[in-house]
Each structure stands twice: as C-alpha cells, then as structure tokens.
Amino acid sequence: MTQTNPSGFTAHIQSVVPDGTRSALIQQVLPQLLRTLPDIAQALRSTSVSEAGSANSFGDNQLNVDVLAENIIRSTVAQCPSIVAASSEEDPNETSTIGENVTEKEQYTIAFDPLDGSSIIGPNWTVGTIIGIWDGQTAISETETPRQKQIAAILGVLGPRTTAVVAIRVPGGTPTCFEVSVANNEINIIRPSVQLQLQTKTRYFAPANLRAAQENPKYLELINHYISQKYTLRYSGGLVPDIFHALVKGHGVYISPITSSSPAKLRRLYELTPIALVIECAGGAAVDSADGTDILDRPVRHTDERGGLVCGNRDEVDIVRSKLLT
C-alpha cells in the first residue's frame, strides 16, 4: 500500500498532536478511513442506484449504494487493529472488534454515516460520508460528552472530485481543520487550514425543511431576514455538500429546524456530533435548533438520539438564536 506523504498529511497531523502520541491515529486510523472515500466514489459511479430491498435498524429503506458504502468502511475497520468498536446509521448496533489478545495502546471507536444524501443521489448530485472518531471502546456514555470523547471527524465529499475535510481535537493538542484530496491511494493536503471567516463579501444561507416556515412564523421571519439582507441561497438538500460549501467559501449558516409536524431527523452520533466538531475546529458554532444548546455538550446515550441543527459562522448562529429560539 502506498504510504501517505510524510512531508504533507502525516507531518501536518504530527504538528497538532502532543509529541510522540497518537501514532495509530496518524499512521493507521485516519489514512485508512480516508482511503475508503475513492472506493465509495467509484462504487457510486459504476452502480445503478436502486432499492436494496432491506431496511436498517431504524426502519429506513436502504439503497444498494448505502449497503456498498457500509461494506467498504466495515472492511477497512476489520483491517485496523486500533479501531476496536464501530456503529453506523445502517447498522447502529455498536459492535466490539476487540480480539482475545489485543495489545493496542490506542483504542478508538468510529460512528459513521456511510452515505449521506440518499435523497439527492438519484439526480447525481454531490453526496458524502461522515465519520466520527472517538477515544476508547465506545462512543456511548451516560456522563461523558462528545466534547470530551470525540477526537476527530471526517467529512468526505463525493462529487466531481473526491476530497475530505478533517477535524482533529485531541487533549493537549492544537485544534485543526484542513482539507485533503484522496486519489491513487495518496492523501494530499489541499488547504492546511479551513476556517470560517468573520468578514466575507457574500453571505450564504442554507434553509433545510423550508416547508416548516409555513407553520413556524419565527422561521418565516428568519427566512425573510436573509432575503431582505441579500444573503445568497445555497441549499442542495444534502447535508455534506451544504456544510462543505460554507467551509469552502468561509461563510454560511445551515438551519434545520424542528416543529410539531417536522420532528428531528438528524442522528446525533452519525451526523450532528462529527459535523459539530468540524465546524468548531473551523472557528464556527453548532447548536441544536430545538433549544440552542451546543451539540457537543450533551452526552450521546444511545444510537438513535436525534436533533436539529444550526451551524456556521458564530455571528450567524447568534442571529438564528435570537430570531428562532427566543
């Protein structure tokens, strides 16, 4: 297997974690997970999208490409000794992979959405893969928060190019968010620092579930605010491409409200917490649209916990708080 360029990807991670630590994370876990992305992208390009004839444990109908992406990541997990447990949106039963004679000093759990964007994959729009990486043998806890346990996240973007935004925040290290390309088994740094900016020429908004504005006057007022202030609409219906757009442009706010007829759909473990880590490491904020609390400050107690999402530039999230949540 071709090794990651030590002067680029590996060296960048080594510069933000405490010296001499996290060698398995740097040399195995992150690069092996990132190298699954081109395989998933190729599977999408060479496979007709159809119903798989099955449903996941949540009762959601599966597409054949959901199953393909799931199997690709599971195969990688099986080859990475430091990943000792895993669960996904397609198979939310957190399964231990610890063998009888495991001696790994570093132990990680991953929680992932293998293919985010099933609703827009038919028209061939950009979709993605979301992976959260957690310290220890489980991502579930009654007391410890994602801010304490989740130490890295990958936002894989499967479009014309195969890229990923990686966030790392380990105890004693420097939080970082950067973009890589993954091609021909090589991982190369595209942008060593991905940051949401305070001042940008154009301001963007992505309003999910716009139909909720019909029953929620505050959401309608918020939408009218964006229109009157001449924000630019950028919304695809896919969580990954909409978040990635803000990270590329340096500005954006994503709003997924919760109403009586539109309950929370985004799963905290597989979508909200990894995205929140990425956004925070990029200098932004990510809160639950139900109550405005920081997503990373509440423990994930089971795999089917769901929530709403407001994320993006901190000043934009504050505007949503003031107009939607008060």
Of the pLDDT bands very low, low, confident and very high (cuts 50, 70, 90), residue 279 is: very high
- CA distances 195 to 54, 199, 232, 233, 249, Å, are 40, 12, 19, 20, 9
Q: Percentage of residues in the chain with pLDDT exceeding 70?
A: 92
Query: In this structure, what token pair is assigned to residue 28?
Result: 């195995």
- For 209-256, what is each residue's pLDDT tens digit? 999 999 899 999 999 999 999 999 999 999 999 999 999 999 999 999
- Can you read off the two tokens belonging to residue 99? 């063998």
Q: Which residues have a Cβ under 8 Å from the Cβ of 68 and sit 6 or more positions away?
A: 40, 43, 44, 47
Spatial distance between the Cα atoms of 265 and 258, rounded to a whole number of angstroms: 9
For the chain, domains (ranges, CATH) are 6-191 (3.30.540.10), 204-324 (3.40.190.80)
Which residues neighbour 220 within 8 Å (Cβ) at sequence distance 6 or greater? 213, 214
Asked if 261 and 147 count as a contact pair (C-beta separation under 8 A), the reply is no
Radius of gyration of the chain (CA): 19
Please compute the mean of the pLDDT values over residues 176-182 and round it to a whole number: 96
Predicted structure pTM score: 0.93
pLDDT digits (tens, 9 = 90+) for 97-107: 876 556 678 99
The answer to whether residues 194 and 10 touch, using CB atoms and an 8 Å cutoff, is no
Q: What stretches of the chain show up as alpha helix (H) in DSSP?
A: 11-14, 23-24, 30-34, 36-45, 64-78, 118-121, 146-149, 217-228, 239-249, 273-281, 314-324
pLDDT for position 287: 98
Least confident segment among 43-52, 246-255, 256-265, 267-276:
43-52
Given this model, what pLDDT does residue 284 score? 98
Which CA distances in Å does 254 have to 207, 280, 286, 288, 301? Answer: 6, 14, 9, 11, 25
Cβ(307)–Cβ(266) below 8 Å = yes
pLDDT of 47 strictly over 80: no
Q: What is the pLDDT of residues 125-151, one digit of tens each?
A: 999 999 999 999 999 999 999 999 999
Q: Sorting pLDDT into bands at 50, 70 and 90, what band is 42?
A: very high
What does the alpha-carbon distance between residue 79 and residue 32 come to, in Å, rounded to a whole number? 9
The residue to which tokens 């990635």 are assigned: 244
pLDDT in tens, 182-216: 998 899 999 999 999 877 789 999 999 999 999 89
pLDDT digits (tens, 9 = 90+) for 56-97: 555 565 678 888 999 999 999 999 999 999 999 999 999 998
Residue holding tokens 């479009």? 159
CA–CA dist 193, 207 (Å, integer): 26
CA torsion sign, 169 to 172 to 174 to 178? negative
- Please give the mean pLDDT across all residues of the chain: 91
The confidence band for 5, taking pLDDT boundaries of 50, 70 and 90, is: very low
